[in-house]
Structure 1
Amino acid sequence: MGAQLDYPTMKEVFRRFAEANPHPEGELEHVNAFTLLVAVALSAQATDVGVNKATRALWPVADTPQKMLALGEEGLTHHIKSIGLYRTKAKNVIALSRLLVERFDGQVPSSRAALVSLPGVGRKTANVVLNMGWGHPAQAVDTHIFRVGNRSGICPGKDVDAVERAIEDNVPVEFQRHAHHWLILHGRYICTARKPRCADCLIRDLCRYEEKTA
């Protein structure tokens, strides 16, 4: 785990990210806050591509908690059987849909505490929904962000909670809203796990990774 970049360097890092991609977006397809919540829950130990392929036929028939309950667990299983752990995920999605109807009038809540009270929804999923669904500067730390944060010095930490705090504490406030999207995309396409594309990296000169590739 490397040292945290200083504030001027951090500001330049995110200035470059913002200049290159002013309006970054997540890659999970959804049509509203409920389908976003379900998509993120389904994406655990699965790829966004795989989830999108499964949900393109699901959203037209189940884009609200009420419609999801009407579809039922078996109906949902039919749609998502190509996704890993689909049976457990189907149970969780039906259960969270029922709780949304019973406790939240069918609406996706905008508080982290309420979101994590739902079956199959952890802190990372809640943060994605808060950020993408409600516009909150919440930071959803995945393996990409953890790797990029520690390699570069942008947001080092020994675990995902520490990396999340490092983003919240050190990323300039004007970049907080999109910080996790920039970092995820950077890790997914440039700062990859095995062969990082350092030659194509727009923050190569600012990054503290000592084993940069040619």
Structure 2
Amino acid sequence: MEKMKSWIRISFAGRYSVITGEGTAGNNANSIRGFKVIDDAKAQVESICPGIVSCADILAVAARDASVAVGGPSWTVNLERRDSTTASRSLADSDLPAFTDSLDWLICLLGNKDLNARDMVALSDGNYAPLDLVTPNTFDNGFYSNLIARRGLLQSDQVLFSGGSTDSIVNEYSTDSSSFSSDFASAMVKMGNIDPLTRSQREIRRVCTAVN
């Protein structure tokens, strides 16, 4: 379920204040990376229009563009997010799914974020780890064929096809790539709209690794 760890915002440890961030949460261990890409994009944007584009918006756009770059779907990214001035490791520890979680608990966790079981199954593909060993660098539905063949790498992935309520969704995605791509794009939009900070709330950071 690494993809759902996109809930996190960038880990905070700046020169102005040190905050224990989501990046240190147990369920994020050895899974989040690519911060340099976001930092470089932020630096270039700040050189052109300082104080306008938040790190949160850059991260959301980068997620969409990364999908497109590997043959996945595109979607409209809602912008005008602001960056938080705080972080909470405790919330990350309690809200992020673990690789050992049961299907019922995963559905419950995502339900608390207004994501349904279909969203959860769609968001389980395209992970940092090579969970699809056949086409690990391509956005496709091979992940679901692997689950049906009982070749899921993580318990929290294989549990999606284990005689439970999500088996039918896995079967559908394994044979209908267009349905999977469409649902993935829709789920990414929904996930990007989980309690965003907008307008007067919080700040637009000058650099993504530090609060202003």
Measured against the shorter chain, the TM-score band is under 0.3
Q: TM-score, normalised by structure 1?
A: 0.28
More helix by share: 1
Bigger radius of gyration: 1
Instruction: Tell me: higher relative CO, structure 1 or 2? Use CA pairs within 8 A at least 6 residues apart.
Output: 2
Q: TM-score, normalised by structure 2?
A: 0.28
